[in-house]
Amino acid sequence: MIGLAVAASLLAGVSLGALGGGGSVLTVPILVHLAGQDTKEAIATSLFVVGATSLAALIPHARARRVHWRTGLLFGGFSMAGAYGGGRLAEYVPGTVLLVAFALMMLATAAAMLRKPRRGREPRVHAEPPLKHLAVKGLAVGAVTGLVGSGGGFLVVPALAVLGGLPMGVAVGTSLLVIGMNSFAGLAGHLSGVQLDWGPALAVTAAAVAGGLLGTRLAGRIPQDALRTAFGWFVVAMGVSVLAQQVDTAVWVHPATWAAIGGALTGAVTCRLWRGSRLSAHGGA
């Protein structure tokens, strides 16, 4: 199974290099279900894999001048503090709880990827992003990174684009710097209670780095909307699969569960239709 895990890690690397996120969303399930690691070991290992892959993929982006170093270092510095704290906290949280939390994050990530941005609402470019906002967002994203083994790329990219006013291409490149810093800080927090199996970790990392370098080359050649949509639905499938394996069958067949799912879907559709009607009204005005 380790061979299949290595092959699947190429996809995680491609996503990270091309989109600036998504590597850990795939790496944790790969390590759990294909490499046979337990949840906490998989989370710690994924932080090493994603950290190394991010820094390797950062180099081509930096050469293409798609990295805003000041914003990345400031955001990453605050995130490292949150990631280390999240990594230490994870030692006291049951593995099943962490995996369920990770599955829910996968679904939230997929929803963010599949949501189309509004046209004509480009963020303003700030020469000096607000330090207070960078600190709050950085600590929050870092805590998530350390706790559930997520590099936080799909949280970092929007934050950099909105708070820092960075173009999407630069936000993607800069996010790799932040993800690398977050991942190694989170790993430091996990190592107090987890030992890594370095053989599989290095094999998966090598494949992910190769995928990351490929992803940076694809970044400017494949339409980003098409890539994000395809990957978003893939993450939905994996998130539902992980959640289904962790949640007891009795929960899935309980009427309250389906009532909640139905309510959430109805709310999402209603919100989407309402926003669409508002945009149409403004467009016709």
For residues 82 and 153, state if they share a domain. Answer: yes
Phi and psi, residue 271, nearest 5°: -65, -40
For residues 278 and 221, state if they share a domain. Answer: no
> What pLDDT does 84 receive?
85
> What pLDDT does 118 receive?
55
> What pLDDT does 250 receive?
54
Amino acid at 191: L
CB count in 10 Å sphere of residue 247: 15
> What pLDDT does 113 receive?
65
> What pLDDT does 114 receive?
75
> What pLDDT does 209 receive?
93
For residues 277 and 165, state if they share a domain. Answer: no
For residues 115 and 12, state if they share a domain. Answer: yes
For residues 58 and 168, state if they share a domain. Answer: yes
For residues 90 and 180, state if they share a domain. Answer: yes
Domain containing 163: what range? Answer: 2-247
| pLDDT mean for each 10 residues of the chain (285 residues) | 82 80 77 86 89 91 89 89 84 78 74 63 52 82 74 71 74 87 85 87 92 81 69 74 69 63 65 60 55
For residues 48 and 184, state if they share a domain. Answer: yes
- Model confidence pLDDT, tens digit, residues 12-52: 888 788 777 767 677 888 888 888 888 889 888 988 998 99
For residues 57 and 181, state if they share a domain. Answer: yes
> What pLDDT does 125 receive?
46
For residues 218 and 129, state if they share a domain. Answer: yes
> What pLDDT does 122 receive?
46
For residues 242 and 269, state if they share a domain. Answer: no
For residues 54 and 119, state if they share a domain. Answer: yes
Cα gap 231→173, rounded to integer Å: 19
- Residue 153 · residue 16 · CB < 8 Å: yes
> What pLDDT does 160 receive?
79
Cα gap 147→150, rounded to integer Å: 8
CA dist 246 → 97, 187, 280 (Å)? 9, 24, 42
The number of folded domains in the chain is 2
For residues 105 and 161, state if they share a domain. Answer: yes
